[in-house]
């Protein structure tokens, strides 16, 4: 099975983010890491590909930088990577991103595309569905478990009540949640081999696309500071107030 995993390099969330003052776009350092969400996708892809003696191709879009994040995924075991790095894609919206990814995926060929449900730096949460639409294949989303083989894929789709079992014919796109599988640590050998694996860097013109970015970040507001909580002093009847509060947030 030929598996394509969509993976994104993001600035390390442990370090402070910086926005450009005029465009409000994230300043992306040379050194970016693999989005933690994508580690689950990569692991899922590796397990499915290994079970079917298939391959895993990473597809990414964004400033390549020193490729640290891509190497992370290659060190886990992915076979190769294609990254689209083009200044004209700066500030890309979800649809433009999906168009670019879909174009690369088409070029590479695929039985199954796996993506995280949403990136940790953008959080639009719609790219996998858009990619499926552009590829003309089913989108199976919010997977907490995935099995694939014999021309079909089956997932557990997370719902508020539990999960639905969703099945589709391949080829298809699946978005996976964190926890779908436990991502492996890269091994020493994996780290050493990652540098030798093929990484292709493409521009938009290589894909024959013209970006049409229609979204602009107009303004950015800092998140409101957390309000102080209520301190309930126990005068013997504090339990009444506590029950009232618990009822208000509907936990009892």
Partner 1 sequence: MPFTEEHHHFRRVVREFVEREINPHVDDWEAKGMMPLHDLFARMAQLGFLGLEYDPAYGGQGADHLFTVILAEEFGRADHGSIGMALGVQVDMATPALHRFGSDELKRRFLAPTLRGEMVCSIAVTEPDAGSDVAAIRTRAVRDGDEWVINGSKTFITNSLQADWICLLARTSDEGGYRGMSQIIVPTDVPGFEVSKKLDKLGMRASDTGLLTFTDVRVPVANTIGEIGRGFQQQMAQFVLERMWAAYGAVGACERALERTREYLGQRVVFGRPLLGHEYVSYRLAELVAQVDLLKHYNYAAAEAYMRGEDPTRFATIAKLTAGRLTREVADWVLQFHGGTGYLEETWTARFLRDQRLGSIGGGSDETMLQVLARMDGFWV
Among 19, 27, 192, 246, binds partner 1 (CB under 8 A): 192
Which regions of the chain does DSSP assign to beta strands (E)?
2-6, 9-10, 33-34, 55-61, 80-84, 112-116, 139-149, 152-158, 163-169, 172-176, 199-202
Among 111, 186, 197, 209, binds partner 1 (CB under 8 A): 186
Give, as one character, the DSSP assignment of residue 83.
E
To the nearest whole angstrom, how small is the minimum distance from the Cβ of residue 69 to partner 1?
A: 11
Is 123 among the residues that bind partner 1 (CB under 8 A)? Answer: no
Is 195 among the residues that bind partner 1 (CB under 8 A)? Answer: yes
Is 194 among the residues that bind partner 1 (CB under 8 A)? Answer: yes
Is 185 among the residues that bind partner 1 (CB under 8 A)? Answer: yes
Is 178 among the residues that bind partner 1 (CB under 8 A)? Answer: no
Contact 100, 207 (CB under 8 A): yes
Is 37 among the residues that bind partner 1 (CB under 8 A)? Answer: no
Q: How far is CA 132 from the centre of its chain?
A: 14
Pick the closer one to partner 1 by CB: 75 or 101.
Answer: 75
Is 191 among the residues that bind partner 1 (CB under 8 A)? Answer: yes
Pick the closer one to partner 1 by CB: 9 or 72.
Answer: 72
Contact 96, 213 (CB under 8 A): yes
Pick the closer one to partner 1 by CB: 34 or 100.
Answer: 34
- What is the number of other CB atoms lying within 10 angstroms of the CB of residue 240? 10
CA 174 to CA 169: how far, in whole Å?
A: 12
Q: How far is CA 220 from the centre of its chain?
A: 23
Pick the closer one to partner 1 by CB: 8 or 71.
Answer: 71
CA 117 to CA 147: how far, in whole Å?
A: 17
Pick the closer one to partner 1 by CB: 189 or 248.
Answer: 189
Among 10, 58, 73, 75, binds partner 1 (CB under 8 A): 75
Is 30 among the residues that bind partner 1 (CB under 8 A)? Answer: no
Pick the closer one to partner 1 by CB: 37 or 92.
Answer: 37
6 pairs with which residues across the strands? 59
Q: Dihedral of CA 96/102/105/111: which sign? A: positive
To the nearest whole angstrom, how small is the minimum distance from the Cβ of residue 143 to partner 1?
A: 23
Written as six digits, the tokens of 178 are 């964190």
* Residues in contact with partner 1 by the rule CB under 8 A: 66, 68, 71-72, 75, 185-189, 191-192, 194-195
């Amino acid at each position: 099975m030929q598996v394509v995993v969509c993976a994104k390099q993001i600035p390390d969330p442990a370090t402070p983010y910086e926005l450009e003052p005029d465009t409000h776009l994230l300043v992306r350092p040379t050194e970016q890491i693999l989005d933690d969400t994508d580690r689950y996708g990569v692991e899922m892809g590796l397990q499915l590909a290994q079970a079917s003696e298939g391959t895993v191709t990473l597809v990414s879009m964004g400033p390549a930088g020193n490729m640290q994040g891509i190497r992370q995924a290659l060190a886990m075991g992915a076979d190769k990577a294609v990254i689209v790095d083009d200044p004209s894609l700066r500030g890309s919206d979800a649809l433009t991103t999906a168009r670019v990814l879909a174009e690369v995926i088409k070029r590479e060929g695929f039985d199954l595309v796996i993506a995280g449900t949403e990136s940790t730096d953008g959080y639009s949460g719609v790219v996998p569905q858009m990619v499926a639409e552009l590829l003309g294949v089913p989108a199976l989303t919010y997977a907490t478990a995935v099995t694939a083989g014999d021309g079909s894929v089956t997932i557990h789709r997370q719902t508020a009540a539990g999960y639905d079992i969703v099945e589709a014919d391949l080829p298809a796109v699946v978005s996976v949640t964190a926890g779908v599988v436990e991502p492996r640590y890269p091994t020493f050998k994996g780290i050493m081999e990652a540098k030798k694996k093929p990484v292709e860097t493409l521009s938009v013109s290589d894909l024959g696309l013209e970006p049409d970015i229609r979204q602009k970040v107009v303004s950015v507001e800092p998140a409101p500071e957390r309000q102080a909580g209520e301190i309930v002093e126990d005068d013997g009847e504090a339990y009444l107030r506590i029950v009232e509060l618990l009822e208000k947030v509907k936990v009892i």
